[in-house]
Structure 1
Amino acid sequence: MIYLLAAGLCVSVILIIGSHYGFRLITQMKHQSSEGIFDYLEHCGVYSREKFKRLEKKEVQTTSVDGLKLGGYLVEPYQKGKRWVILVHGYTVSLYVSTQYIELFQREGFNLLLIDQRRHGKSEGKYTTYGYMEKHDIAAWVAWIVDHYGEDCSIGLHGQSLGGGTVLEYLAMADHHVKFAVADCPYSDLTKLLRHQMSVLNKLPAFPLLGLINRRMHRSAGFRMEQVSPLKAVQNSSLPVLFIHGTEDNYVPTYMSEELYEAKPEPRSLLLVKGAVHGNAYAVDPVRYTKEVRQLIQLALEPEAEDSPELSGISVSNQLSALPSG
């Protein structure tokens, strides 16, 4: 009897410690340094710290609905331009990882706002909530652009990984100034994502750990896993969306973008980049990536053009790469 009680106590302690560790890993994981991010970008050949140092930019700030200071960089190559794109990064990185997309959108005539998501970079915040609160941060930045640059602005969104999930969550409440979204390696549902990462990547039992983590998440961070589902958010969206995913992504499985593509009403498109892992689709095939983004922009902002391409279908890039995950 004593042995059974002792064993039960040990299991309880292990579960408590495991749920605490899992909660911290999911919502408060250590950030990557700016030097490490630029090392990765330079290794991939998509951007460099020297380019960023020379870039004309200015720091900007807004306030979230719950009172956090949110930071970003404004890049304005077109002083009178009305095309804007907001670049949204992934988990544990910062706006520096979004610099790889600057030239892509500049060539399409866009001014850019690179933002630090809450709890990342120069933005305040204690927890990452995977779009539950971050979608309201996107709303704050959209309002900031309109307030500063006028009601005639057209705004696009580009999000990678966590940023992709955030952007898609925002679509359920999108402002009319927002005209399109690019979701690069997004998750379709937070519960499914965490179950995959726990059981497949970390070889841990999803039951009962996931339930314990969920309760701790609700108690400490104010949200539950089931409250984050980009899949549900896109089901009634009429905005043009381009989903992008690497075929070798095991961190956020490729099938999640395929699910999102199937759930999203037209107009929508899906680009699968063969050989790409998590977050490096642009590095693997920048030509195809750029082409698909350009088609999305033309559909969203130039529908009257006779040669505007239709955005409805699946594209699969054939270029392979052994570049590491970002």
Structure 2
Amino acid sequence: MGAATVMLVNSENPPEQVKIIIEDCGFTNAHEEISNTLKDIIHFNFTPLVSMASLVCKMKAGYFFNDADCIGKLPLAKNPILFIHGGADTFVPTEMGIRLHKACTVPKDLFIVDGAVHAYSYYDAPKEYQQKVKDFIVKHIGSL
């Protein structure tokens, strides 16, 4: 959820202290992610039920699942983004990370860690991960 949060804030009015965004294993939008997860776990298309749950969420909490629409907001991004994703992520499929990267209109980089499952990119390739982050910071801010 942190990746979604930083992508959404970056598309609105981020504080001036925010110069770059580094997101790891972010989803395209909440509705798609919930539908995908249920289909993966239960092997049934729950999209209509997820839509109904989204309506209940709107009535109870004040927002629809599609309000967390990272891919739809990326064309409004203000700061450069480093997209990181595990190459074997099935919880938030790697394809979502690729789609996010393609939708982004600001300077961007994509780092896919071969074989990494959800949220394990750093653990599976710590040196490469650290280097990619350092390089991105230096490229867009100038120094560490």
Q: Deviations over 1:210-238 (max 9, x none)?
A: 12211211111211012111112221224
Match of 1:287 among 120, 123, 127: 127
Does 1:170 find its partner at 2:16?
no
Per-residue CA distance 1:59-91 (angstroms, 9 max, x = gap): xxxxxxxxxxxxxxxxxxxxxxxxxxxxxxxxx
Q: Given the alignment of the two structures, is residue 301 of structure 1 paired with residue 141 of structure 2, yes or no?
A: yes
User: AA paired with 1:163?
Assistant: G
**Mapping of residues 121-140 of structure 1, within 5 Å:** none
Alignment-mate amino acid for residue 234 of structure 1? L
> Could you tell me how far apart the structure 2 residues matched to 1:189 and 1:208 are?
16
* Cα distance in 2 between the residues matched to 1:207 and 1:283: 33
2:57 is aligned with 1:226: no
TM-score by length of 1: 0.42
Q: C-alpha distance in 2, partners of 1:300/1:218?
A: 38
The gaps in structure 1 that reach 5 residues or longer are 1-161, 306-326
In structure 1, the partner of 2:84 is 244
What secondary structure sits across from 2:21 in the alignment?
strand
Q: Which has the larger radius of gyration?
A: 1
- Helix, strand or coil at the partner of 1:178: coil
Q: CA RMSD in A?
A: 1.5
The one-letter amino acid of 2:135's match is: Q
- Return the offset for 1:266: 3.5
Deviation of 1:264 (Å): 0.7
Post-superposition shift, 1:202? 2.4
Give the counterpart letter for 2:7 in structure 1.
L
Aligned with 2:45 (options 182, 188, 205): 205
Cα offset, 1:207, TM superposition: 4.4
TM-score (structure 2 length as normaliser): 0.92
Q: What corresponds to 2:21 in structure 1? A: 181
Higher strand fraction (1 or 2): 1
Partners in 2 of 1:213 and 1:294 — Cα distance? 41
